[in-house]
Structure 1
Amino acid sequence: MNAVSSNRQVALVTGASTGLGFAIAQRFADAGFDVVIVGRDRERTESAASQITGDTRIVAMVCDVIDRQQVDRLIDDVQQQFGRLDVLVNNVGLSDRGLIQALDADRLNDLFNANVFSALNCSQAALPLLAQSGGQIVNIGSLAAKVAPRYLGGYAAAKHALAAITQQLRLESRTLGVNVILISPGPIRRDDAGHRYKDRVGDDLPESANRPAGGARVKGLDPIYVADRILKACRKRSTDVLLPGYLRPIIAIGHLLPTLGDRILLWFTRSKD
């Protein structure tokens, strides 16, 4: 299929069939982007694409972004259908609950596949196309990309790895004209918040660990608000966005004074039960 000629910019959002990914796709469509919605389940992905409102082109593409061969085909399809790519949003992720001392290697591998290799695969495959447009890569991190609170299993390790990849790729891609942004939001509001980890919270964890952010004293963020901040970050070609912003100086203090930082994290995750 030949590329459709259009002056509109193109955004590709992975993990976009529900939740934050869907909100990001809708926000970019509102801003006049053609949008590629990517998910593993065809029915859910196509359903999500049909629900995006606006006058731009919305295309659903099915891909398991952990599989590099599938990702290469995905980017080829984007190039054939649109002829360009301006923004890649790596939104696929997997959270966790548990103790590091009991972390299973297979579980850690799953977390790195979902949070790190998915973004790495898409970024590497899309970089040549993004270089043609001076485009941007947006990696969705977490507060756990900045600090490592207790009870999050291997999640913080995976998100810290994503943060490192983001910074290194940004520095390496400057000569290509490609900007790479890390978005580190707190917990996102969702319907199953507070009970989605019940099967992972056992005798070794307090019940509060089942809550968003492992029970940390941080309010859930509206996905629409987060999506809006992501679009603004792209417009400004930002490098690092932390939400909520008031936590940045607290995290910085913790990095400068690690003992105090540990005390702050213990306070933020102390049980309310």
Structure 2
Amino acid sequence: MSDDATPVALITGGSAGLGFVIAETFLGKGYRVIIVGRNQERLDDATNRLAERSNSSQAIASIRADVTSSADTNRMVNAVQSRFGRLDVLVNCVGKSDRGFTEQLDVAKLEELILNNVTTALLCSQSAIPLLEKTGGAIVNIGSLASKVGARYIGGYSTAKHALAGLTQQMRLELGPKGIHVGLVSPGPIQRTDAGERYQKNLSEDLPEQARQPGGGTKVKGIAPQRVANAVLSCAQKRKPDIILPGHMRILIALGHAFPRLGDWLLLKFTSSKQ
């Protein structure tokens, strides 16, 4: 066990995509980083790439785990304890998106979305609480604009992300007395090299073209992954409760919640009018 006082960050879903950028960002700020994923080959590749960016190979580690399993999340945290002796930040970055009409939403699909977007965050957090309480650490959950509004054509995704937002606030109120901060980072569509491609398969033919685009066709400009990663770092270090990207959407969301008819109009305005 290491007695190093250098802070430690655990990032689920850290072997690729946004999770990898978040891991890279924490590593660059002097954290020791553990990435978690299910695919060992991807984990090894990501670990090697992160190690190249680090001053010490001892600053990066990986754990293969299925974070839908409490047995695996407990084993994951025990491995962190054994390797580094502490945990300061948990970033719950595992998630899954969807496209479709609610009238066609299959209950099994909704349960799968809740499992990947909500249950994973719950299980990882429950396992990590004892270590985070010792360091006065932070949990950062990755939400979405879909955590704040229910746009069209995104199937059960908004339902799952709203549940994550509720879980985050409840955890923040309950874990605050233990010295643990819990925050939510809710970005709009994130820039991807495969934008739209992952939504082209297994979609109902009667869905409009906009449903196949990032954010369900939202007119909000794609956000650079690094900008989201910086927000996650800020959420953990400055103990911010709720970050929305882009920031101006917070005002529009607040207006929409205060005046639901206006909120519906704004949602229609910020998404394509194609039917």
- Compute the TM-score of the two structures, normalised by the length of structure 2: 0.96
Alignment of 1:251 onto 2:249: no
Counterpart in the other structure of 2:141:
139
Gaps of 5+ in 2: none
Aligned length: 271
Inter-partner Cα distance in structure 2 for 1:85 and 1:117: 21
Letter in 2 for 1:98: G
Within the alignment, does 1:124 sit opposite 2:164 as a pair? no
Matches of 1:46 and 1:163, distance apart in 2: 32
For 1:21-68, what per-residue CA distance to the aligned partner results, in whole angstroms no more than 9, with x for missing partners?
000000000000000010000110111011011225100110010011
Report 1:72-221 matches (<5 A): 72-221=74-223
- Cα distance in 1 for partners of 2:202, 2:266 equals 25
Name the CA distance, whole Å, in 1 between partners of 2:66 and 2:83: 19
Letter in 1 for 2:80: V
Amino acid aligned to 2:5:
N
Q: Deviations over 1:230-253 (max 9, x none)?
A: 112222111000000010000000
| CA-to-aligned-CA distance 1:142-200 (integer Å, 9 cap, x gap) | 00000010100000000000000000000001110000010000111111112211124
- The amino acid that maps onto 1:199 is K
Corresponding residue for residue 9 of structure 1: 7
Indicate the percent of aligned positions where both proteins have the same amino acid: 51
Contact 1:206 1:271 in 2 (8 A): no
Corresponding position: 1:60 with 2:62? yes
Distance, in Å, in 1 between the alignment partners of 2:190 and 2:49 is 21
Q: Does structure 2 retain, via aligned residues, the 8 Å contact 1:217–1:269?
A: yes
Tell me the amino acid that sits aligned with residue 272 of structure 2: R
Equivalent residue for 2:20, pick from 11, 14, 22: 22
Partner amino acid, structure 1, of 2:81: Q
CA–CA distance in structure 2, aligned partners of residues 263 and 191 of structure 1: 31
- Corresponding residue for 1:226? 228
**2: distance between equivalents of 1:146 and 1:204?**
26
Could you tell me how far 1:128 is from its partner in structure 2?
0.9
Cα offset, 1:127, TM superposition = 0.5
The DSSP-based 3-state class of the residue aligned with 1:196 is helix
Question: Cα distance, 1:255 vs. partner?
Answer: 0.2
Q: What amino acid is the match of 2:44?
A: E
The runs of at least 4 aligned residues of structure 1 exceeding 6 Å deviation read none
How far apart in 1 are the matches of 2:131 and 2:223?
32
User: Residue 237 of structure 2 aligns to a residue in which SS?
Assistant: helix
CA displacement, residues 196-234 of structure 1 (integer Å, 9 cap, x when unaligned): 111243333111111000001111111111111211222
Question: Does the Cα contact within 8 Å between 1:214 and 1:269 map onto a contact in 2?
Answer: yes
Q: Structure 2: how far apart are the matches of 1:139 and 1:182?
A: 5
Q: Distance in 2 between matches of 1:181 and 1:246?
A: 19
Gaps of 5+ in 1: none
Structure 1 counterpart of 2:239: 237
Amino acid at match of 1:235: Q
Match of 2:265 in 1: 263
Larger deviation, residues 128-137 vs 204-213: 204-213
Q: CA deviation at 1:272?
A: 5.6
